């Protein structure tokens, strides 16, 4: 019997039922805050003051939507031996007190920021908030202890320093806390990828000549939200000559026969994200396009084969091509095309591996990490390029791939075009109006090509 750990007997099922053990949200929240506290105890910091939405969710299990991501009115104070204190927009704080019983009611407080400077600094919002934080730290016996912050607006930083607080960086601490995923987190990441598996199935059937990149983006967004996605962060849709160099944004370009098109689908399910590229051709494929895809596939397969506990990021990225091999001056210019990045509540977590830095600064791969590997390779004439991405869970035995839509070979979408073969007319067709048999014949590169078959009716 397959074991999934921590009593998750059905990690792929999305909703709680009484007759099967699935993701345990209470355990998820408890494990996350304990990982944070463990890192805090190992650090020189007395407390954390976090403004990043994903860090706030990791600490509190709260979420009020992507609209709040750039407002910076939400922040959470985390101390070793106290429940976190979250300042949130007023009605959300009231809602948390009603429906978030995992922390004491006093954890949920109404708060306000300058809304990125919309409220003038002389109103004193930043100074008021800084005084509140300093008072809580004093009452908790943490006065004089350094405070770690992940991201911050400068007026807020200056106000905290004005209260005598020593501010230090906490991004690294939070990356370490989130680097190894719990069984519940892995199950949610697997489920998020599973939604995209199904969406790629529909996208593959939808693609044909005349469909625009933005049509594909609209389809993916609709399907994900209909099937339970919490947020569609981004859908890249890149086709034809736009494939090289990679522009990282979709357009209104129409797909045409023999186009290469690649897609990246980034969304979250219960907060846990995907970064999931696939490449297709429309109607047929040239040998150059097939060859480019094979190169990209070889890079990613060799890199995945290195993934196991105890290996390092240097072992993985040695299989990625150098920047000058595919048309870039240096690794900084090529960054983001051949690399790996952790995935969790964010699509940018540790470990991050690239030729830019991982040879000189390797990190150890550990069981429980979840990360994506991305490769890219253009055709020789630069008219097209292939892009492949796989998400993997690091297990004791190596990498387990959780992105399951087929990507071993270049798949061709749209109407399949066929070529008639010059063969003798089978006896069964003689006398029924056929002067030449029509047979489907592959073009030899995984695509199907078409010519008029020469049959008469």
Among 4.10.110.10, 3.40.350.10, 3.30.565.60, 2.40.160.20, name the CATH number for the domain at 25-177: 3.40.350.10
Q: Where are the alpha helices (DSSP H) in 100-182?
A: 125-139, 154-162, 171-179
User: Is a pLDDT exceeding 90 seen at residue 153?
Assistant: yes
For residues 194 and 5, what is the distance between their CA atoms, to the nearest angstrom?
20
pLDDT tens for 249-293 read 999 999 999 999 999 999 999 999 999 999 999 999 999 999 999
User: Is a pLDDT exceeding 50 seen at residue 424?
Assistant: yes
Phi, psi of 280 (to 5 degrees): -135, 165
Q: Are the C-beta atoms of 413 and 282 separated by less than 8 Å?
A: yes
In this structure, what token pair is assigned to residue 89? Answer: 């927009």
The segment(s) of the chain belonging to CATH 3.40.350.10 are 25-177
Q: Is the dihedral of CA 253, 256, 261, 265 positive or negative?
A: positive
For residues 338 and 376, what is the distance between their CA atoms, to the nearest angstrom?
6
User: Is a pLDDT exceeding 70 seen at residue 63?
Assistant: yes
Q: Give 215's contacts (C-beta < 8 A, 6+ positions apart).
A: none
Q: How many CB atoms lie within 10 A of CB 70?
A: 9
Give 131's pLDDT tier (boundaries 50, 70, 90). very high
Q: How many CB atoms lie within 10 A of CB 67?
A: 7
What single-letter DSSP state applies at residue 228? Answer: T
User: Is a pLDDT exceeding 50 seen at residue 447?
Assistant: no
DSSP per-residue letters across 280-315: EEES---HHHHHHHHHHHHHHHHHHHT-STT-BHHH
Q: Give 172's contacts (C-beta < 8 A, 6+ positions apart).
A: none
pLDDT at 9: 67
In this structure, what token pair is assigned to residue 155? Answer: 């007026």
Q: Are the C-beta atoms of 316 and 373 separated by less than 8 Å?
A: yes
Q: Please give the CATH number for the structural domain made up of 183-411.
A: 3.90.230.10
In this structure, what token pair is assigned to residue 2? Answer: 């397959």
pLDDT tens for 327-363 read 999 999 999 999 999 999 999 999 999 999 999 999 9
The whole-chain average pLDDT of the chain stands at 91
For residues 233 and 345, what is the distance between their CA atoms, to the nearest angstrom?
12
Q: Are the C-beta atoms of 405 and 389 separated by less than 8 Å?
A: no
Q: Give 119's contacts (C-beta < 8 A, 6+ positions apart).
A: 112, 113, 125
In this structure, what token pair is assigned to residue 297? Answer: 């596939």
User: Is a pLDDT exceeding 60 seen at residue 442?
Assistant: no
**Entry field: residues in the chain:** 457
The segment(s) of the chain belonging to CATH 3.90.230.10 are 183-411
pLDDT at 30: 98
For residues 50 and 131, what is the distance between their CA atoms, to the nearest angstrom?
16
């Amino acid at each position: 019997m397959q074991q999934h750990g921590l009593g998750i007997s059905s990690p792929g099922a999305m909703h709680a039922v009484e007759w099967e053990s699935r993701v345990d949200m209470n355990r998820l929240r408890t494990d996350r805050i304990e990982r944070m506290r463990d890192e805090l105890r190992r650090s020189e910091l007395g407390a954390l003051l976090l403004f990043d939405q994903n860090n706030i969710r990791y600490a509190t299990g709260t979420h009020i939507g992507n609209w709040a991501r750039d407002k910076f009115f939400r922040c959470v104070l985390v101390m070793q031996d106290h429940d976190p204190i979250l300042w949130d927009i007023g009605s959300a704080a009231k809602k948390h007190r009603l429906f978030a019983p995992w922390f004491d009611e006093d954890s949920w407080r109404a708060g306000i920021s300058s809304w990125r400077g919309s409220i003038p600094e002389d109103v004193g919002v930043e100074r008021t908030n800084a005084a509140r934080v300093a008072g809580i730290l004093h009452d908790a016996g943490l006065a004089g202890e350094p405070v770690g912050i992940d991201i911050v607006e400068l007026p807020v930083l200056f106000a905290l320093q004005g209260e005598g607080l020593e501010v230090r960086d906490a991004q690294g601490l939070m990356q370490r806390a989130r680097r190894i995923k719990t069984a519940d987190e892995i199950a949610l990441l697997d489920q998020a990828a599973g939604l995209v598996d199904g969406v790629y199935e529909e996208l593959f059937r939808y693609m044909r000549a005349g469909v625009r990149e933005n049509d594909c983006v609209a389809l993916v967004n609709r399907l994900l939200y209909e099937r339970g996605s919490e947020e569609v962060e981004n859908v890249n849709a890149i086709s034809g000559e736009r494939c090289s160099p990679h522009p990282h944004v979709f357009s209104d370009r129409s797909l045409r026969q023999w186009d290469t098109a690649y897609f990246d689908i980034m969304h979250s399910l219960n907060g846990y994200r995907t970064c999931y590229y696939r490449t297709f051709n429309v109607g047929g494929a040239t040998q150059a396009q097939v060859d480019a895809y094979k190169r990209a596939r070889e890079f990613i397969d060799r890199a995945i084969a290195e993934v196991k506990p105890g290996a390092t990021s240097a072992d993985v990225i040695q299989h990625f091509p150098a920047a000058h091999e595919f048309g870039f001056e240096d690794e900084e210019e090529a960054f983001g095309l051949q690399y790996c990045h952790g995935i969790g509540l964010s699509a940018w977590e540790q470990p991050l591996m690239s030729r830019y830095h991982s040879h000189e600064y390797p990190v150890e791969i550990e069981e429980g990490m979840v990360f994506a590997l991305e490769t890219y390779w253009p055709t020789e004439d630069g008219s097209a390029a292939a892009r492949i991405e796989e998400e993997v869970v690091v297990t004791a035995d190596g990498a387990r791939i959780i992105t399951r839509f087929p990507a071993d070979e270049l798949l061709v979408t749209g109407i399949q075009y066929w070529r008639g073969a010059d063969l003798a007319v089978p006896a069964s067709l003689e006398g029924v109006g056929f002067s030449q048999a029509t047979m489907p014949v592959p073009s030899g590169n995984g695509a199907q090509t078409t010519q008029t078959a020469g049959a008469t009716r």
